[in-house]
Amino acid sequence: MRILVQKFGGSSVADLECMKKVRGKVREALAEGYKLVVVLSARSGRTNALLEMAYQWSDEPDPAEMDVLLTTGEQESVALFSMLLQDDGIKARSLLGFQLPVLTDGDFGSARIQSIDAAMLRREMEKYDVLVMAGFQGCTAEGRLTTLGRGGSDTSAVAVAAALGSVECHIFTDVDGVYTTDPRLCGEARKIERISYEEMLEMSSMGAKVLQIRSVEFAKKYKVPVRVRSTFSSDPGTLVTQEDDMMESVLVSGIAYDKDQARVTLCGIPDKPGISAAIFVPLAEKGVLVDMIVQAEKPLLICGGGVVRGRADREFREFAEKLDAPVAITVMGGGGFPGGHPLTTGMIGMHGAPSANRAMNAADLLLLIGARVGDRAIMSPMGLSQSATIIHIDIDPAEIGKNMQSTLPLVGNAKVILQQLMERGARADCGAWREALQDLRRTNLSRGYPAKDGYVFPGRLLRLLGERLKEDAAVCVDVGQNQIWACKHLRLRGARFLTSGGLGTMGYALPCAVGVKTAQPERQVAVICGDGSFQMSMNELAAVKAGGFDLKIVLFRNGVLGLVNQIQSGEPYHGPFGVRLDGDPDFAAVAAAYGIPSLTLRDEARVEETLDRFLGMEGPCLLIAEVSPAWKTSD
Ligand SMILES: Cc1ncc(C[n+]2csc(CCOP(=O)(O)OP(=O)(O)O)c2C)c(N)n1
């Protein structure tokens, strides 16, 4: 049995006419004697409409339910296309991800494929000539539906081709292959007949959008030959395959570049039909190619660690205020933008603020500044509006396109780029969007803190600590719940926030603070840590003592490895395991052994008074705050 996998994207199945063209491609392959698996995406605009709907229903949609919702997009495509084939006398049936099943991990929104039941596919191929398979979806071993993230249908197709040993995997798009460079910019651009996986990966990460990076990685790993072809022509397209001797002698295969770009900003355009046409039609008549239109009603600035490390916080704040656009911070962006500023929506990410995540998911223009958007920063890249324009400013070209594709990458120092952007004097006209986010932020913040006898809630303590710290203080934060609480509640007013971010280096905070004090003895320095992290480097108390460093150490003692305890208490785990810190020492006695005084806090009513005493102490001091192990970072 000769098997071919064909994949068609959203614009190829947008409507009946388009689907008929796809049917033509299927017929051609059948005539060549192939049995087919046809992988389809959701029809154009469908996924965005579903996302939009989800956010009307919920501020923070459950990622698992979001996947259930999004998979309906492909379900619609495969059912309609199967009907079309059947009407034409072709033996076809639809197949959803869970029916196969395409088994994935449980990372809703960006799940990774673990296995595909090729035996089931082969059985069905005995009965049918065409299996119409829903791309972008799978299910966990527990039977929960998942989606694979942006570009997921390409990955589904390549994975099925790998599982079946398909001759080739044909990815149909609206271009007829991969070009040496953008043919719209350079008339001499040539279509490439063959390109290696490595070169394709390189070009994709530089911004060539023909194939999604993840699918190329998959094809490379399983040696699946991928052919990029056009739905609308009979051109054989470009074959992406393993490097051979002939290809190795080619040093440069293609260039992704932008030439002669001019940026034109039009402000105060009324939101009326026909206005854009009045602007763009004369441009088109003069032969001016409009490459990218950035028209934002819902802009969001994201302050990442690059703003802090590039000492660009003043420029970032000025830029945000000039633009008058909402701001979100990442874990590493802490301290880069004041926590109490009216434009802030809080921290994005898995443990972030609902207002910030809502802003991130609904924005139509994202300006990522010094943010590498790792998996902790964005729960699911799929959750981003698919039509959002993404401008990514980063000093490291390797970060561009690594975790998400950007519409416009700007490589350089954040401070300099922000200054240059400010010279252009743009201002966002987004009052309604900004106010809606401010309302949401206020509602989030007005939620009371939980209380339990014998314990103090870290969120409240940290808020009060943030208000008491000097504006130029440095706060060194460890890993775990204490880190997330610090990101969410500290609301600094310019203080330096030092943490190991997603790297998650437990035991970081205390030695980090010793480093800060060594370099800047006059600076006020606070440490935030959990009892697990503290025990990984508490021997540094000797350095604190020896250096006579005036460090203020806040230790949240919950008797568990809190963050792991929290994660294991939820799905899909079967309860916490190996997280109890039953061997916790008497921390007051440990501090005393180094000649360092301590205070213990277990009464909510005494937090303010104790903090004042703690910060007013001469020299180092350890504050042991008793925290309930049942509290979560979302409380
Ligand atoms: C060296 C190291 N080991 C394990 C982990 C995985 N890990 C991340 S958070 C965490 C728990 C941290 O517990 P604790 O320091 O008590 O802080 P809490 O979460 O209770 O605030 C663990 C074990 C890690 N990040 N680093």
Question: Atom 20 in ligand 1: which residue has the minimum CA distance?
Answer: 562
Cα(105)–Cα(111) distance, integer angstroms:
6
Q: Give the per-residue pLDDT at 52.
A: 87
Report the amino acid identity of residue 366: L
**Pairing relation of β-strands 3-8 and 169-173?**
parallel
Burial 177-192, CB ≥16 within 10 A → b, else e? bbbbbbeebeeeeebb
Question: Atom 16 in ligand 1: which residue has the minimum CA distance?
Answer: 532
CATH 3.40.1160.10 maps onto the chain at 3-248
Ligand 1 atom with least separation from CA of 478: 15
Q: Which of 506, 536, 560 to mutate to test the pocket of ligand 1 (most atoms within 8 A of CB)?
A: 506
Say which CATH architecture domain 3-248 belongs to. Answer: 3-Layer(aba) Sandwich (3.40)
C-beta of residue 172 within 8 angstroms of C-beta of residue 184:
no
Reported as half-sphere exposure (CB side, CA atoms, 13 A), residue 505 has a value of 13
75 CB burial (10 A radius; 0-12, 13-18, 19+):
middle
266 CB burial (10 A radius; 0-12, 13-18, 19+):
exposed
Q: Give the per-residue pLDDT at 423.
A: 80
Count the neighbouring beta carbons within 10 Å of the beta carbon of residue 109. Answer: 22
**Which of 349, 351, 369 is CA-nearest to residue 359?**
349
By three-state DSSP, how is residue 161 classified? helix
Mean pLDDT per block of 10 residues along the chain (635 residues) reads 93 94 95 96 91 88 94 97 97 95 91 89 94 96 91 91 90 86 76 87 66 84 92 90 62 53 68 67 64 72 93 94 92 88 89 87 89 63 62 84 76 88 76 90 85 96 95 95 92 89 92 98 97 98 97 98 94 90 97 98 97 96 98 90
How far does residue 263's CA lie from ligand 1's centre (Å)? 47
In eight-state DSSP terms, residue 449 is P
Residues 6+ apart with CB under 8 A from 219: 158, 162, 169, 197, 225, 226, 240
Ligand 1 atom with least separation from CA of 482: 21
**Pairing relation of β-strands 621-626 and 35-40?**
unpaired
Question: Atom 2 in ligand 1: which residue has the minimum CA distance?
Answer: 506
Q: Is the pTM of this model over 0.75?
A: no
207 CB burial (10 A radius; 0-12, 13-18, 19+):
middle
Here the tokens at position 502 are: 């997603």
CA distances from 97 to 63, 85, 135, 506, 632 (A): 17, 20, 7, 39, 34
Question: Atom 10 in ligand 1: which residue has the minimum CA distance?
Answer: 480
By three-state DSSP, how is residue 509 classified? helix
Count the neighbouring beta carbons within 10 Å of the beta carbon of residue 468. Answer: 15
Residues 6+ apart with CB under 8 A from 353: 345, 346, 347, 441, 444, 488
Q: Is the dihedral of CA 438, 439, 440, 443 positive or negative?
A: positive
How far does residue 505's CA lie from ligand 1's centre (Å)? 8
| Fold classification of 448-626 (topology level) | Rossmann fold (3.40.50)
Question: Atom 3 in ligand 1: which residue has the minimum CA distance?
Answer: 506
Burial 43-62, CB ≥16 within 10 A → b, else e? bbebbbebbeebbeeeebbe
**Which of 253, 274, 557, 306 is CA-nearest to residue 415?**
306
How far does residue 504's CA lie from ligand 1's centre (Å)? 8
Q: Give the per-residue pLDDT at 137.
A: 96
Cα(391)–Cα(409) distance, integer angstroms:
6
How far does residue 354's CA lie from ligand 1's centre (Å)? 24
How far does residue 580's CA lie from ligand 1's centre (Å)? 12
How far does residue 294's CA lie from ligand 1's centre (Å)? 42
In eight-state DSSP terms, residue 13 is G
Question: Atom 11 in ligand 1: which residue has the minimum CA distance?
Answer: 561
Q: Is the dihedral of CA 14, 20, 21, 27 positive or negative?
A: positive
- Which helix (H) or strand (E) segment holds residue 457: the answer is none
Segments of 51-209 assigned E as strands: 92-95, 102-104, 113-116, 130-134, 137-139, 145-147, 169-173, 178-179, 191-192, 194-196
Count the neighbouring beta carbons within 10 Å of the beta carbon of residue 24. Answer: 12
C-beta of residue 625 within 8 angstroms of C-beta of residue 458:
yes
Ligand 1 neighbours (beta carbon < 6 A): 478-482, 504, 506, 530-533, 556, 558, 560-564
How far does residue 533's CA lie from ligand 1's centre (Å)? 6
Alpha helices in 393-430 (DSSP H): 414-423
Strand order in the sheet with 102-104: 113-116, 102-104, 137-139, 145-147
How far does residue 181's CA lie from ligand 1's centre (Å)? 47
Ligand 1 atom with least separation from CA of 485: 21
Segments of 163-275 assigned E as strands: 169-173, 178-179, 191-192, 194-196, 226-230, 238-241
Report the amino acid identity of residue 237: G
Q: Give the per-residue pLDDT at 357.
A: 87
Cα(308)–Cα(334) distance, integer angstroms:
8
| Fold classification of 275-440 (topology level) | Rossmann fold (3.40.50)
Ligand 1 atom with least separation from CA of 504: 25
How far does residue 508's CA lie from ligand 1's centre (Å)? 11
Q: Which of 456, 457, 479 to mutate to test the pocket of ligand 1 (most atoms within 8 A of CB)?
A: 479
Q: Give the per-residue pLDDT at 41.
A: 95
- Determine the longest span between alpha carbons in the chain, in angstroms: 87
C-beta of residue 11 within 8 angstroms of C-beta of residue 18:
yes
Ligand 1 atom with least separation from CA of 505: 26
CATH 3.40.50.970 maps onto the chain at 448-626
How far does residue 634's CA lie from ligand 1's centre (Å)? 17
* C-alpha gyration radius of the chain: 28
CATH 3.40.50.1220 maps onto the chain at 275-440
How far does residue 228's CA lie from ligand 1's centre (Å)? 45
Ligand 1 atom with least separation from CA of 458: 21
How far does residue 104's CA lie from ligand 1's centre (Å)? 27
Question: Atom 25 in ligand 1: which residue has the minimum CA distance?
Answer: 504
Q: Give the per-residue pLDDT at 408.
A: 79
How far does residue 479's CA lie from ligand 1's centre (Å)? 6
By three-state DSSP, how is residue 626 classified? strand
Q: Which of 478, 535, 563 to mutate to test the pocket of ligand 1 (most atoms within 8 A of CB)?
A: 563
Report the amino acid identity of residue 318: E
Here the tokens at position 197 are: 């996986």
How far does residue 144's CA lie from ligand 1's centre (Å)? 28
The residue assigned the tokens 């400010």 is 422
Residue range 186-200, pLDDT digits in tens = 777 888 898 888 888
Cα(616)–Cα(36) distance, integer angstroms:
75
C-beta of residue 499 within 8 angstroms of C-beta of residue 331:
yes
Question: Atom 1 in ligand 1: which residue has the minimum CA distance?
Answer: 506
How far does residue 483's CA lie from ligand 1's centre (Å)? 10
How far does residue 629's CA lie from ligand 1's centre (Å)? 13
Q: Which of 457, 536, 561 to mutate to test the pocket of ligand 1 (most atoms within 8 A of CB)?
A: 561
Residues 6+ apart with CB under 8 A from 240: 178, 194, 195, 196, 197, 200, 211, 216, 219, 225, 226, 227, 228
C-beta of residue 625 within 8 angstroms of C-beta of residue 456:
yes
Ligand 1 atom with least separation from CA of 627: 20
Residues 6+ apart with CB under 8 A from 243: 196, 197, 198
Q: Which of 456, 483, 533, 569 to mutate to test the pocket of ligand 1 (most atoms within 8 A of CB)?
A: 533
Question: Atom 26 in ligand 1: which residue has the minimum CA distance?
Answer: 506
Segments of 362-435 assigned E as strands: 365-369, 389-394, 408-411
How far does residue 566's CA lie from ligand 1's centre (Å)? 11
Ligand 1 atom with least separation from CA of 561: 13
Backbone angles phi, psi at 173, to 5 degrees: -135, -165
